[in-house]
Copies of this chain bind each other. A is one copy, B any other.
């Protein structure tokens, strides 16, 4: 009996099924951070969570402020439910946009108006909108290693192409030599993240000035705009002595992408914004263009009640001091043990060089000590690893002797 006809038919049908194969294929690409975090939870169930030193996830470890909670409760208990839960304009609630603009003006001496602010589902939504706004399919977007791996889908799903400028591992400021080589006339936008996930480094005033100078020069040379998309979810988590300027002040064609996830510890609420520099091209209609983009991706707007509650505490942050305490403990310990590491200027990440060339192998060995560390291959910086220290200080303290033991026993490093 000849089955080849049936097989052929079956293959043909398999080819013709209609589930989008591109997205389906993405399911294969496991997110290493999630995999490690799930391992940490599983291991915790086995040996007790207190015994697993989980540095995998960038999840705030301090609660939102009582003022936020009280404002949200007041809206629900005293507000008109038709207003609190009613349709928000797709650009965001007008009064909230005004509150955001006023706050930025107060804090950074800017001149935003409500029309420059577009409310989004966190920084992810902000970047996805900003990128669609200033690129078209085929354009290049440059970012700098080390970089947040989700930039790849954020940018590539717009039809533009993300290209990664290699890291400057000396101080994790920008590698300008490589940048200038890659900055060709197909580049429509440059995407930066400062303070940076995963390096923890804040770009200095000198770095931002030099970046702006280059972009201005190349805009003239190429005869078209190059937008600077500045991803700033860690803007409020800056440590003593760090030089961390407000990026938008330095470059006209800039879009600032913000999230309240880290500053107010509201990651699940998905609330943030795009703030268009009042001096950028089409500044007055950037928000409206973002609104048109929303129509096509079904975003519409963040929760109306969350918009209103955040506006009530616009200048507040959670108590973020634990992150600096943890950073200092870890930086001192890592340096003492013998790791090569640049001192973070902000965020809740630190980014040491692994003790062997293969950071994945290094992190797998650390797992044996119940130290959950993330290799930085996916961050575009092989040989390094990320520690997210948004955990209790007590646990950071207990992790240090384990790190010491690991470095000494496996690599013979340390006293």
Contact indicator A87/B136 (Cβ below 8 Å)? no
Contact indicator B23/A289 (Cβ below 8 Å)? yes
A269–B72 Cα distance when bound, in Å, is 13
Residue of B73, B82, B135, B157 touching A76 (CB-CB under 8 A)? B73
CB distance from A139 to the nearest CB of B (A): 8
Residues of B near A128 (CB, < 8 A) are 296-298
Contact indicator A267/B299 (Cβ below 8 Å)? no
Contact indicator B16/A223 (Cβ below 8 Å)? yes
CB distance from A68 to the nearest CB of B (A): 8
A303–B300 Cα distance when bound, in Å, is 13
Contact indicator A268/B27 (Cβ below 8 Å)? no
Known contacts being A76-B69, A126-B298, is A20 close to B154, with CB within 8 Å?
A: no
Contact indicator A17/B124 (Cβ below 8 Å)? no
Tell me, yes or no, whether A365 is within 8 Å of chain B by CB. Answer: no
Tell me, yes or no, whether A170 is within 8 Å of chain B by CB. Answer: no
Known contacts being A69-B76, A81-B265, A121-B298, is A19 close to B289, with CB within 8 Å?
A: yes
Tell me, yes or no, whether A281 is within 8 Å of chain B by CB. Answer: yes
Tell me, yes or no, whether A120 is within 8 Å of chain B by CB. Answer: yes
Nearest B residue to A297, CB-CB: B297
Contact indicator A268/B87 (Cβ below 8 Å)? yes
Nearest B residue to A84, CB-CB: B268
Tell me, yes or no, whether A47 is within 8 Å of chain B by CB. Answer: no
CB distance from A9 to the nearest CB of B (A): 8
Residue of B82, B227, B282, B296 touching A63 (CB-CB under 8 A)? B82
Residues of B near A87 (CB, < 8 A) are 59, 267-268
Nearest B residue to A129, CB-CB: B298
CB distance from A311 to the nearest CB of B (A): 14
Residues of B near A133 (CB, < 8 A) are 19-20, 23
- Chain B proximity mask over A208-235: 1 for CB below 8 Å, otherwise 0: 0000000000000011111100000000
Besides the known contacts A125-B300, A268-B301, 5 further A-B residue pairs in the complex with CB atoms under 8 A apart:
A20-B133, A157-B295, A157-B296, A297-B298, A298-B299
Q: 8 tightest CB-CB pairs across the interface, nearest first?
A: A157-B296, A268-B304, A128-B298, A16-B224, A125-B298, A153-B295, A63-B81, A303-B303
Interchain residue pairs with CB less than 8 A apart (10) = A22-B136, A23-B292, A26-B295, A69-B77, A73-B73, A85-B265, A270-B300, A270-B303, A297-B299, A306-B306
